[in-house]
């Protein structure tokens, strides 16, 4: 079985075309974190983080990795401690510690490769399903602080982790307020209920709870 899986993984690279990296590639992190934006101490801290980051070492070629895809923005390689055959990671070439610190254009570039890479990985491993996973922050399980996306092929009854049905609670409108205000939305929030719509001004919904029907529509 392991030999067969190894043979399947060995053909992944044949399904993924590597794109030559232009020699004048612009480093996104250096354009964001520069002397004009921060002091020399911050720049030194960034250099130290990149020097110690295992993913940055893979990017520089200082650490081994089986690369499946690379371009001028991101690359993908097999996880050295996979939870399933074909488990791989997509990372940006520039160092960003968290997903929320990664420029949207870079996140978009990474995500745009998911259909392409996942299709090849599933074909090579003989699976037809996969999990797309991002651990953002310590409490979410992030261990390596360089933005990365997991592609984890799944098979029936692989017992990787059990699906759990969590007890759901009605959503508090105050939580909705917290979520929408930073997005500079309008002063009103539309609460969707069965068969009709009504508007609640954010200033009047403190400690309010969604109607049960509306809650069901948001499940």
pLDDT for residue 48: 64
- Global pTM value: 0.62
Using the structure block, give the residue that is written with the tokens 């929408």: 180
Query: What average pLDDT does the segment 14-39 reach?
Result: 41
pLDDT for residue 157: 87
pLDDT score of 18 more than 70: no
Give the 3-state secondary structure of residue 67. Answer: strand
pLDDT for residue 196: 44
| Catalytic site includes residue 15 | no
pLDDT score of 155 more than 80: yes
Q: pLDDT tens digit string along 57-81?
A: 999 999 999 999 999 999 999 999 9
Phi, psi of 208 (to 5 degrees): -85, 160
pLDDT for residue 159: 86
Q: pLDDT tens digit string along 80-128?
A: 999 999 999 999 999 999 999 999 999 999 999 999 999 999 999 999 9
User: Encoding tokens for residue 166?
Assistant: 């969590």
Longest dimension (CA), the chain: 64
Range with the largest mean pLDDT of 22-26, 150-154, 187-191: 150-154
Catalytic residue among 15, 146, 148, 169, which?
A: 148
pLDDT score of 20 more than 50: no
Query: What average pLDDT does the segment 150-178 reach?
Result: 74
Whole-angstrom distance, CA of residue 217 vs CA of residue 144: 37
The gap from C-alpha 95 to its chain's centroid, in whole angstroms, comes to 14
Range with the largest mean pLDDT of 6-20, 60-74, 194-208: 60-74
Q: pLDDT tens digit string along 125-147?
A: 999 999 999 999 999 999 999 99
pLDDT for residue 113: 96
Q: pLDDT tens digit string along 28-57?
A: 333 333 333 445 555 665 566 677 899 999
Whole-angstrom distance, CA of residue 200 vs CA of residue 172: 13
pLDDT for residue 200: 42
pLDDT for residue 166: 63
- Which residues neighbour 67 within 8 Å (Cβ) at sequence distance 6 or greater? 13, 18, 75, 76, 77
Query: What average pLDDT does the segment 7-20 reach?
Result: 54
């Amino acid at each position: 079985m392991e030999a067969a899986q190894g043979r399947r993984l060995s053909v992944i690279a044949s399904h993924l075309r590597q794109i030559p990296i232009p020699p004048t590639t612009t480093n996104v992190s250096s354009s964001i974190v520069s002397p004009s934006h921060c002091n020399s101490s911050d720049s030194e801290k960034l250099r130290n983080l990149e020097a110690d980051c295992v993913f940055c070492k893979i990017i520089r070629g200082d650490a081994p990795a089986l690369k499946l895809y690379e371009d001028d923005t991101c690359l993908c390689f097999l996880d050295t401690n996979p939870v399933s055959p074909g488990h791989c990671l997509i990372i940006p070439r520039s160092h960003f510690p968290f997903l929320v610190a990664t420029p949207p254009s870079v996140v978009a570039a990474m995500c745009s490769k998911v259909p392409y890479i996942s299709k090849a990985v599933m074909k090579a491993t003989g699976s037809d399903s996969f999990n797309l996973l991002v651990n953002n922050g310590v409490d979410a399980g992030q261990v390596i602080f360089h933005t990365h996306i997991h592609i984890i092929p799944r098979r029936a009854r692989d017992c990787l982790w059990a699906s759990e049905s969590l007890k759901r609670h009605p959503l508090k409108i105050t939580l909705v307020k917290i979520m929408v205000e930073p997005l500079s939305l309008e002063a009103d929030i539309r609460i969707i209920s069965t068969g009709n719509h009504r508007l609640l001004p954010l200033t009047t919904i403190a400690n309010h709870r969604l109607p049960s029907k509306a809650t069901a529509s948001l499940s």
